[in-house]
Structure 1
Amino acid sequence: MASTASRRGPRAPSSPPTMSPTSALAAPPRVGEQIQRLRTERNMTLDDLSRSAGVSKSMLSEIERDKANPTIAVAWRLTNALGVSLDQLFAAQKAPETISVAGPHDIPTLDGHDAKYQLRVWGPIELAGKFEWYELTLQAGGALVSNAHEPGTREHLTVLQGTVEVEANGIAKRLKTADTARYVADVPHAIRNAGKGDAKALLVVIHG
Structure 2
Amino acid sequence: MSDPGGQPQPGVILRQIRTERNLSLEQVAVMTGVSRPMLSQIERGSSTPTVTTLWKLASGLKVPLSRLTRPAAVSMCRALQQEPLEEEQGRMKAWLLFPFDPDNGTEVWRVCLEAGCVHSSQAHAPGTREYILMESGNLTMTLGSHAETLSRQDALQFGADTAHQYATANGCSFYNVITYQ
- The alignment's TM-score, normalised by the length of structure 2, stands at 0.58
User: Among 152, 173, 181, which residue is 1:200 paired with?
Assistant: 173
| Contact 2:137–2:172 (8 Å) recurs in 1 | yes
The equivalent of 2:53 in structure 1 is none
1:172 counterpart = 2:138: no
1:162 counterpart = 2:129: no
Cα 1:137/1:144, change in 2 over 3 Å: same
Paired amino acid for 1:185: A
Deviation per residue, 1:104-158 (Å, 9 max, x gap): 454352011426200011013655x931111110001112321111110000001
2: distance between equivalents of 1:146 and 1:201? 16
**Secondary structure of the corresponding residue to residue 123 of structure 1:** strand
Paired amino acid for 1:49: R
1:49 counterpart = 2:22: no
Deviation per residue, 1:59-87 (Å, 9 max, x gap): xxxxxxxxxxxxxxxxxxxxxx699xxxx
RMSD, matched Cα:
3.6
The equivalent of 2:39 in structure 1 is none
Paired amino acid for 2:151: K
Q: How does 1:1-208 map to 2 (within 5 A)?
A: 41-44=8-11, 48-49=14-15, 53=19, 55-56=22-23, 102-114=77-89, 116-124=91-99, 127=102, 130-193=105-168, 195-196=169-170, 198-208=171-181
How many aligned residue pairs are there? 129
Q: Which structure 1 residue ranges, 5 or more long, are not aligned?
A: 1-39, 58-80, 84-95
Cα 1:82/1:201, change in 2 over 3 Å: same
- The alignment's TM-score, normalised by the length of structure 1, stands at 0.51
**Secondary structure of the corresponding residue to residue 98 of structure 2:** coil
Identity, % of aligned pairs?
19
